[in-house]
Amino acid sequence: MDNIVASAPGKVILFGEHAVVYGKPALALAIDRRFRCQVSHSEEIYLDGKIFEPNKHPYTYFILSRYWPQRGLDIELDSDIPSGSGLGSSAALCVSLNAALMALRGEEGEGLCAKRSFDAELGVQGSASPLDTSVSTHGHGISINLPNGRHLWDIQHEDRRWSVGHIDVPEMTLVVGYTGVHAPTGPLVAKVRRYYDHSAFAREIIDEIESVTIEGEAAIRAQDMVRLGSLMTQNHKLLSILGVSGRELDRLVDASLMYSYGAKLTGAGGGGSMIALTDRPDDVCEAIKLHGGTPFVVHTEQPGVTVQKKKRL
Ligand code: MEV
């Protein structure tokens, strides 16, 4: 019997996290940290060799109940994206599991995999955008609701519509600084939603993030690293005003700025990770270490989800 192995990348967000939940534009890049999911037929559902416990694994449960109901499956998961790190671990789990199940069911299509994976994030978190799941599916760089990307697919939920496009990204060196603080996305998205629903000021900040994102996309196209970095730092300040940064994140951003074009938190915030755009990666890594973070250089221009069928011996 066949084993299916699917692998999907994590991500960094250059611009637009949180604002994208409200249909605003955003830009994200796939990185060279991946989530792997291996599945094969079985009598019962097993996860990593143990009987599956649905309440411990909400994303997996959501996907299995929709696309593999009442059936057994042997699932093995393996990841080098720390969970709750802001680097897209839950999205990459959803994408790799959906892609593996699609292969078992004889289904195809990047757009279908991205949509199903978004549904899982939305179902589990209550509020989400298709940013993380789309970049993990497609890889490389993606834009949301920006006119210049090559159009990939549209995703709609209630009155929100997200047009997903491929963007070409110039070569750039990004250093990630992981705070070590586990920060699940759902509660942070809910916190911003409460603020957004009740405060005109919060809605203005979201509009400002939109303007910075539009300018950021132009800076990428112009390959203007100085402008790009300064817009990233501006985006970080706006996210801090929204209340999703934190002491650890601000410390790592400030420490990196001396050797960077710019730096910002990436993902939902509250902990998790920040990124710095730099041509002095060693100095930035040292500064992040000195200030209590775990640094690593990430490489962009990574492929999206891949699926392999392996014959069992
Ligand atoms: C999390 O990586 C990005 C958020 O904008 C949530 C989402 O888009 O689903 C905070």
Render pLDDT for 7-48 as a digit per residue (tens, 0 to 9): 999 999 999 999 999 999 999 999 999 999 999 999 999 999
Residues counted in the chain? 313
CA of 16, closest atom in ligand 1: 5
Instruction: Give me ligand 1 centre to Cα 26, in Å.
Output: 10
Distance from Cα 106 to the centre of ligand 1, integer Å: 30
SS (H, E, C) 249-279: HHHHHHHHHCCCCEEEEECCCCCCEEEEECC
Tell me the CB-side half-sphere exposure of residue 96, using CA atoms within 13 A: 27
Does ligand 1 come within 6 angstroms of the Cβ of 268?
yes
Q: Is the CB of 242 under 6 A from ligand 1?
A: no
Asked if residue 137 has pLDDT above 70, the reply is yes
**Integer Cα distance of 106 and 60 in angstroms:** 20
Cα(264) to centroid of ligand 1, in Å?
Answer: 14
Token pair for residue 175? 């250093």
Answer yes or no: is the C-beta of 131 below 6 A from any ligand 1 atom. Answer: yes
DSSP state of 164: E
CA of 16 to the centre of ligand 1 (A): 9
Q: Is 82 helix (H, G, I), strand (E, B) or coil?
A: coil
Please tell me the predicted confidence (pLDDT) of residue 310. 82
* Minimum CA distance residue for ligand 1 atom 2: 267
* pTM, 2 dp: 0.97
Q: Which atom of ligand 1 is nearest to the CA of 125?
A: 9
Residues 6+ apart with CB under 8 A from 246: 179, 181, 269, 270, 271
Q: Which residues are catalytic?
A: 132
> Whole-number mean pLDDT of the chain?
96
- Please tell me the residue having the least CA distance from ligand 1 atom 8: 129
Report pLDDT digits (tens) over 59-115. 999 999 999 998 999 999 999 999 889 999 999 999 999 999 999 999 999 999 999
Across 258-272, average pLDDT: 97
Look at residue 141 and tell me whether its pLDDT is greater than 80: yes
CB of 87 within 6 A of ligand 1: the answer is: no
User: Closest by alpha carbon to 94, among 33, 12, 8?
Assistant: 8
Q: Judge if the beta carbon of residue 267 lies within 6 A of ligand 1.
A: yes
